[in-house]
Amino acid sequence: MTTRAGTTPAILIVVVGLMCQEVGASLAVLLFPSVGALGMVMLRLVFSALVLMLIARPSLRGHSGYAWRSVLWLGGVLALMNGLFYLALERLPLGVTVTIEVLGPLVLSIVASRRASAWLWALLALVGVLALGGGGWDNLDPVGVLFALGAAATWAFYILASARVGREFPRLDGLALAMTAGALLSLPFGIFSAGAALLRLDLLAIGAAVALLSSTIPYALELIALRRLPAAVFAILMSVSPATAALAGFVLLGQALTWVELVGIALVIAASIGAVLASNRAARDTAQPLG
């Protein structure tokens, strides 16, 4: 009864976290003319790192060389993933960008399921992505699509790198250190992109808000939800992120999508949910004893 009673609030927590992420992304788009995509990446990572370091206060002693390499690997992936995502957002609508980006964890789920039937979900996702072109890929900026595909690939690497760091560090320590490494890597690109705009307090304040909305708040809410929801349910809820992104893009940025593009987003969401369920079934089958 306790698990069931806590399910509905936990679902709402996940939805709030998703909306915070997309509101943060929308704010980031509004800053692009002033600081550029890479300047926005730097602001997000720097403020996220500051908040996480204050919360976690990680110890710098007693870690192996492998642990530190894991942190640097995750930091590099974080910087690259965010950079590619924001570069894509400069050229594509928010809903389209997030839909393409979600292909990374989708493919990872399909491969992890080790079932031939799981590739049907890959085919469904492919049809959905093709539909995002509104009937023709010439409607989308090809460079933006490449950046979004790169963000998708790095998201898959982020999942793997994050799991590796989680095994080596307690609590949020590894993430805080990796975020700091990512922030340091982004500094030269961000400073070059933003220039004198970094001296404006209003832009710095918005950058801090983006970091809180896109990273700190969603991550904290996800941790709370994961304590109350089965992992499979949580993954399914995260699969609807393209829908929340499309809604935020329409409401906050005026980015209207055609009905064909909306169908494409719906197909990718359906493929993501199907892949999660297939992966969950495969895990249960593996865990069952033979005979």
| Cα distance from N-terminal residue to C-terminal residue, the chain | 33
Amino acid 241: pLDDT: 84
Q: What percent of the chain has a predicted confidence (pLDDT) above 70? A: 85
The pTM for the full model equals 0.82
pLDDT, residue 188, reads 95
Q: How far is residue 159 CA from its own chain's centroid? A: 10
Q: What is the CA radius of gyration of the chain?
A: 19
Q: Tally Cβ neighbours within 10 Å of residue 153.
A: 17
With cut-offs at 50, 70 and 90, classify the pLDDT of residue 114: low
Stretch 157-173: mean pLDDT, rounded? 84
pLDDT confidence of residue 169 = 85
Q: Which of 44-48, 74-78, 103-107, 208-212 has the lowest mean pLDDT?
A: 103-107
State the Cα–Cα distance between residues 126 and 1, nearest whole angstrom: 40
Of 96-100, 135-139, 150-154, 169-173, the least confident: 135-139
* 3-state secondary structure at position 230: coil
> What integer pLDDT is reported at residue 7 of this predicted model?
66
pLDDT class of 28 with cuts at 50, 70, 90: very high
* Count of CA atoms in the C-beta half-sphere (13 A) of 76: 9
For residue 160, give its domain range: 2-287
Give dist(CA 258, CA 96) in Å, integer: 11
Contact 106, 268 (CB under 8 A): yes
Only one residue has tokens 């306790």, namely 2
CA proximity to 79, closest of 257, 195, 215: 215
* Lowest-pLDDT range of 136-145, 202-211, 226-235, 279-288: 279-288
User: Taking residues 60-68, what's their average pLDDT?
Assistant: 87
As a whole-number percent, the residues of the chain with pLDDT over 90 amount to 33
Query: E strands of 73-232, at which residues?
Result: none
User: What is d(CA 154, CA 168) in angstroms, rounded to the nearest whole number?
Assistant: 21
pLDDT score for 174: 87
Q: Are 28 and 208 in contact (CB under 8 A)?
A: no
pLDDT band at 290 (very low <50, low <70, confident <90, very high): very low
CA 171 remoteness from chain centre: 20
Q: pLDDT at position 73, please?
A: 94
What's the domain count of the chain?
A: 1
Measure the CA angle with vertex 102, ends 96 and 103; round to 5°: 100
Distance CA 210, CA 214 (A): 6
Is 236 a residue whose pLDDT tops 50?
yes
H or E element that contains 211: helix 201-211
Rounded to the nearest integer, the mean pLDDT of the chain is 83
Q: What is the pLDDT of residues 187-225, one digit of tens each?
A: 999 999 999 999 899 999 999 999 999 888 887 787 677
